[in-house]
Amino acid sequence: MKKKTAKPTHRAHVFYSGRVQGVGFRYTAEELALEIGLLGCVKNLPDGRVELVCEGSKTDIEKLLEDIQKSTLGRHITKIACSWEKPKNEFTDFCVEFCH
């Protein structure tokens, strides 16, 4: 696992649509994010989408988003809505959330 960024400089808020629930999406995203050293969370939404919020350097976040698309998850994604925000520094790790 890569060392976490001391103070994140960027934040991405991403919504994935498609057959993204029940295919290991959250756990794969978590594994990839931890390998890179990003902070944040990923969770299923009641409407069938997956929401991912991550903080770190822009380069590392872009790598995560690219790695997700290149992984086996890519074939399940039909739409990606990504917005860049100011980091809130609210995370201490990257984890899967289980609530809606």
Catalytically annotated residues: 26, 44
Q: What's the length of the chain?
A: 100
CA dist list (Å): 19 to 22, 67, 86, 95, 97: 8, 18, 29, 21, 18
Evaluate the CA torsion angle 15, 89, 70, 99 in order and state its sign. Answer: negative
φ, ψ at 12 (rounded to 5°): -115, 135
**Strand 10-18, strand 50-56: pairing:** antiparallel
